[in-house]
Structure 1
């Protein structure tokens, strides 16, 4: 499997979670691994990011107020 650091462009990930501490911790770890990250605190913000940014992978919390992760991913 190809190492992220060896890729010409890093994979673009979207992290979605309503807990700022979770977003912060995951962001630090994944940036350290060489990924380009975008974060959103809810499903609606995530959809707005997806409309303007090419994203390779969405990692979402399943339980969030308003729009849960299952609904978000079904809309994606």
Structure 2
């Protein structure tokens, strides 16, 4: 399971998560950052530094944020 960035990240550009990711799995999109589920090693370093509490383990993503599981994967599908 990968970590997932959810809606609190929209329009947030702090990028602490990018700086601590040991495998370069986080990249900037137009409105938010995304985690590549194929690269993420589940280390949780990103979640620990997220200033807006937007990053969750996939199995812990709140029900209202489930669409971001697909959004993160779709960002890397192209």
Identify the structure with the greater helix proportion: 1
* TM-score exceeds 0.5: no
> TM-score if structure 1 supplies the norm length?
0.31
Between structure 1 and structure 2, the one with the greater Rg is 1
